[in-house]
Chain A
Amino acid sequence: MDPPRPIGGTDVPLEGEVFNLLQDVYAKSERECAIDIAFDRAEDGGARNDCRTLLLGYVRAPSVDTGLPLATRLGSVSTRRSALGLLFLATGLVGQQRKIVIARFAAHSGILADENPEALSVQFVERVFLRSVGSYKAALYQDTVNDHGYWTGRAVDKQITSGEAEVSRYWITEFLASDFRTTSATGTRVLAVAMRNAAKSTENLEIKKEITAAATLSAGLNDQVMTAGDFLGRFGLSQPAREAIVGQMKHPGLLSEQFRFSAEEFNRQLPYKSVELNSGAILTAAATEFDNVFEHGEPDEDGNVTYSATGRVVSTKFEKVSR
């Protein structure tokens, strides 16, 4: 293992090119940092988090000295893939609250090679920063400064263009010791319940069919990071189907909430697929298994289709069917 590289820091003057670009990152953070995150609690359940402790130290008295521990922490979790970088802390007051933007820019090793990091200069920062602007990771926090604040924030990774979360894992999980604010089960549940209620409440058979098809195929997305909007887009749901689903959510903002999809939770919330024939027959099976347990051919000219299933009878029920 390589020995840890010494880490230095410097104040950036409140003027000049670097300041202007950082100010831009600071202002745009409200829009660009779209992933809601929250710090993890300690392993024993206590309301403690090492990274948050460093953040609180900085927001209480912003300076190079109080910011360096955050940079050191980032250095300790950096991998060869994440390479070397520059960490910027930009802060300001918004009413009674302090806003802080933490941004990490990749540095080109060729530039770093001829520089002593312990004597970091603004000129050096300019040389690195101006080559990598536009490609960075950031986290935004804004809260009142007290012992109970700064548990939640928002993050962005502008170094990745796809939904792949591996690089974010290093930024959000390892450096920030955080996770998505919305748990895997909650994000999946919000989506599945909206789909279930949309299928139940609509009279439109096409919408029912689209929702069932998406539900049936969803198991393949297990453990993928997404938003509900991504899910609906991935299965190419029509605008009416999309509107029917979003209409069942408590508010449209939930469409852009990021979470890790859980096939288990989805199946828990949207477990069955039912097909009703005009003959009065109702076929029901787990949505993920329906096409495996029922065989059927193509509909004939009149739309008639034959389903068949094979198995031992394990129970028979008499139930009222709501119509």
Chain B
Amino acid sequence: MTLETDYRTRHATVLIQLAASLAELIADYLNGEPRIDRISTRPKSVERFLKKAENVDSAGGRKYAQPLAQIQDQVGARITVFYKADVERVREILLRYLRPIETKHLVPASEWEFGYFGWHSVCLFPQELILPDWPAECVPQFFELQIKTLFQHAWSEANHDLGYKPEGGALTPDQRRVLAFTSAQAWGADQAFQDLFSELQGG
């Protein structure tokens, strides 16, 4: 059995169904909550999984010796909310129900930089989603959860499209500055909307 065959089996047998039931469960957790734009989940595609499995570490060796056990975003969930305060509110609700092994706010390394912003977590699948007739070797333990504002999501999607896989090789310094500039604008828009929302709510 190759890694590709193993993952294809896992993808077809478990991951597609698991991602769908995770979306339903998160929607139940957040039922009635305002200012949620979208709840989406996905199983990682076979192609993307195999590509990630080939990642190398800083020493040039393979990052994942056991990709099926080590890659934790085989199922991913994303909740897109309107404003920054909604990220905290939704996070608090979800962490009542989920068991995370890791939670972090991803921000650029320096306050003088702009780039990716978002709240990420790696969580254990709730037991109610793991059906007993699934083969144990096909069931991942974790999924990746992201909660982002509309602007954080919009920027990361465009950056994923243009910043990681440009058609003509590496980006020039000015092109990278353009991406940083758009991130700064998205950050500013989030700040402005949050301020306006707080002001109107307060009034």
Contact = CB atoms under 8 A, between A and B. Distances in A.
- Verify that A and B bind, or say they do not: yes
Interface of A: 36, 38-39, 41, 45-47, 143-144, 146-149, 151-152, 179, 181-186, 189-190, 249-251, 253-254, 257, 265
Interface stretch (B4-12, B126-134, B163-171, B186-194): B126-134
Contact of B100 (A41, A152, A189, A254): A41
A261 B154 CA distance: 40
A47 B122 contact: yes
Contact of A148 (B70, B97, B99, B131): B70
27 contacts: A38-B124, A39-B101, A41-B100, A41-B102, A45-B102, A45-B104, A46-B102, A144-B66, A148-B69, A148-B142, A151-B101, A151-B142, A152-B141, A181-B99, A181-B127, A183-B98, A184-B96, A186-B126, A250-B128, A250-B131, A251-B128, A251-B132, A253-B127, A253-B132, A254-B127, A254-B128, A265-B96
* 6 tightest A-B CB contacts, nearest first: A47-B102, A45-B103, A185-B96, A144-B69, A186-B97, A250-B128
Nearest to A257: B127
Given A147-B70, A148-B72, A183-B96, A41 B103 contact: yes
A146 B66 contact: yes
A46 B128 contact: no
Given A41-B102, A144-B69, A183-B97, 18 more contacts: A41-B101, A45-B104, A146-B69, A148-B72, A148-B142, A151-B124, A151-B141, A151-B142, A181-B127, A185-B97, A186-B126, A189-B97, A190-B128, A249-B128, A251-B131, A254-B127, A257-B127, A265-B96
B109 interface: no
B59 interface: no
Contacts of A146: 65-66, 69-70
Contacts of B102: 41, 45-47
A182 B126 contact: yes
Given A38-B99, A183-B97, A149 B69 contact: yes
Contacts of A41: 100-103
A32 B101 CA distance: 25
B97 A38 contact: no
A16 B65 CA distance: 39
Contacts of B72: 148
Given A41-B102, A46-B102, A152-B141, A250 B97 contact: no
